[in-house]
Structure 1
Amino acid sequence: MNKVVKINKDDMDVTVQPGITYDELNEALKDTGLFFPMDPGPGACIGGMVGTSCSGTHAVRYGTMKENVLNLKVVLPDGTLVKTANRAKKSSAGYDLTHLFVGSEGTLGIVSEITLRLKIRPQKTAVSVTTFPSNHHAAQTVIETMKSGVQIGRAELLDEVMIKAVNQNSDLELKEAPTLFFEFSGTDKQVDEQIAIVKDIVNNNKGQGFKFAVDVDERERLWTARKIALWSAPILKPESDVWITDVCVPISKLADCIQETKDDLDKSFLLAPMVSHAGDGNFHLFILFNSKDKKESDEAKRINTRLVERAIKMEGTCTGEHGVGVGKRAYLEKELGPGAIKLMRTIKKAVDPHNLFNPGKIIPDEQGHNKEADKEVEKESQSKPK
């Protein structure tokens, strides 16, 4: 199930099977002048990207999976095959079934075919890297950039701990300080205008060493640190487990949320490198710990819980792009309220009355957490990057 079914170049959409990766899809599109912008991580399959409503570094410009899926073919628990919509760019015909399944994590149906929106490959792309005296200064730079109206392609923040890991893992010599990676894209004129505006904002927030590159090889060199972040984190604690977690807050709250999180981490005996899709208000922690050590496991759980509670208090979410699964199921009612959970449970029972598909995921059983699913919490939350 990893084939491109049909490329509709004039309509700027493509129909694919769920097993194809986004890298494979973009390889198939390379001669069309179009591309699919979602990039959650190397090797991600389109079907899984639909299930978690993923996004990635390009979401600040192109949106998340929710904005880029036109329709789905889905097999329901009773075996019925349904198509959720046609290929029109908009429709007001009935319930929005497409987005009922996007982000449902396989609890409502099995996706067998997906039609995706495509984007035009930009004429020019440039990358910049800048360091800051604090993560708060860096996050504030992103907030001001978004408010300025500049349509940046990417805005990624790595904290000083993450930069240290990247340096050790790849023999880089980056300054160990909070670092912003911007990508600008568009026409020559648009890119030049974007760089000029952002450079002023960077300077006003005490940014240093504003470097940018247009050449492909130089762009790749500057992006190296961001691309290898996850795989670099464990080098700071060899043989450690990695608790990968994320939250997302309104962009105006990002600087405060990151600062409070860093303050919390400064008081902890565990390391947790941070990387942020800062333009979306989304950031990830890679908590390094020994899962066989109760003290370290308890501390990792405490860090994660405080992170999620902090985000929800700021009107954010317990997960910006990872999905709820079972690891964050306990936080959903606090985020959305009992009414929303009751409605989700009603939908689940209507579509899957025998609870066949991914039982225990997202929504707890009415009597409490599904015990079998709870056994998977540690496996899902604690993993070593491959």
Structure 2
Amino acid sequence: MEGFFIFKTFSSQQFLFSFKVEMTTLISRRFCHQPSGIKNVAVFGGGLMGSGIAQVAAQSGFNVTLVDQQKKVLEDAQKRIRQSLEKVAKKQDKVEQSEFVDSIISRIDTEQFDANKSSTFAVRPETDLIIEAIVENMDAKHKLFSVLDASASEKTIFATNTSSLPVVEIFKHVKRQSLVGGLHYFNPVPMMKLLEVVKAESTSEETFEKLCNFGTEMNKTVVKCKDTPGFIVNRLLVPYLAEAVRMLERGDAEMKDIDTAMKLGAGYPMGPFELLDYVGLDTCVAVLQGWSESYPDNPSFRVPDTMKKLATEGKLGRKRKVEKDFIVTQSNVMELRYHLDGFNPLVNYVQHSI
């Protein structure tokens, strides 16, 4: 009934906006399978992924604290969130853009904290969930969660947005083993509907269900997965990209033919080499190396020699805007280059997920 009382004090435009926001929140919270009970969320990491998570959480009615090491990163994150919301507001009918943007921004607080410089951080006692979206470095994650485990409420759930590191390893030093899990979002978070919810060996069923319901309340399409390398999307995607390079190395087919075959034969919007060009060879090499160290007997995790060589030479693909884009060489003689025009949804889907 909240929306109807708003009508008495707000203008018609303000009422329409407020009613839409309230009803969206009520519907997402009350008609999911079971409410998560989560109201207050802290996001650590103010980069593209972290700020995107913060924005969508605030849009879904959650109170958010966005934390990063650097003040400049937080300022950029606030600007990015505001710009994103302003784009959304333009699509609203008869709604004051400033009302829409300001109401979401008001749900997001920011704090500065560097676990490398301080061993204490005052986690707000009302925090129900902490989502980590910092650099993909195990030591950095261990250091952060060591601090948070000592100061967060015993009921606070810890989640990581890692795309390639084992969830069980990230949380191996925390005491709250039943209150951990993975929330793997895809970039840009405001646009991408998918959310992989990952259950570690120690994750309790209650915690896992809360994380799944939280994802639903954020209007994401939730898929459930065990704590396996790469979860679902990257576990299938990264070995596929590596095998395409191995096909080229063996001389089974030429690069353009491999790309054409996968686009026209499998219905993929991009071929594997086009996709590698956007994702970046360094990213793929890092993921594969991590997996191959943990699972040395799995041949699909082996890093192709060509991929490793080019990454070492700094030939990473279009992501670095180098003179040449994705290049694959055979005997250091033939060099091929791709020029891609226009937007491709598959690129958006994976370029920040692995």
Greater RCO, CA 8 A, separation 6+: 1
Q: Hey, which of these two has a bigger chunk of helix by percent?
A: 2
TM over 0.5: no
What's the TM-score, normalizing by structure 1? 0.23
From the CA coordinates, give the structure whose radius of gyration is larger: 2
Looking at secondary structure, tell me which structure has more strand per residue: 1
